[in-house]
Amino acid sequence: MTDMKPKIFIDGEHGTTGLQIRTRLADRDDLEILSIPVERRKDPEARAEFLKASDIAILCLPDAASKEAVALLGDESSTRVIDTSTAFR
């Protein structure tokens, strides 16, 4: 049996909410935290790559950017999304 850790991507991890979530998850050894390189975080292709590579994406973004992130996932993605904005309430 393999020891598969859920992959978590925090889109917007450099903002206030993202930093707080990142800090809370930092000591968890049962999760793999995916981090997009700072120079690529505004690149839609890079964001889509990280969103699709994760099991759970936590969106710490303004409403419009959250909607864009969900659109980047497309209909075929199995990534579960937790949105901290008001975009999908």
Nearest to 77 by CA among 45, 39, 51, 38: 51
pLDDT at 88: 76
CB distance 73 to 29 below 8 Å: no
Here the tokens at position 48 are 């889509």
Task: Count Cβ atoms within 10 A of the Cβ of residue 31 and give its class: 0-12 exposed, 13-18 middle, 19 or more buried.
Answer: middle
Tokens 């999304």 — which residue?
81
Low pLDDT (below 50) residues in the chain = none
pLDDT at 2: 58
pLDDT at 59: 96
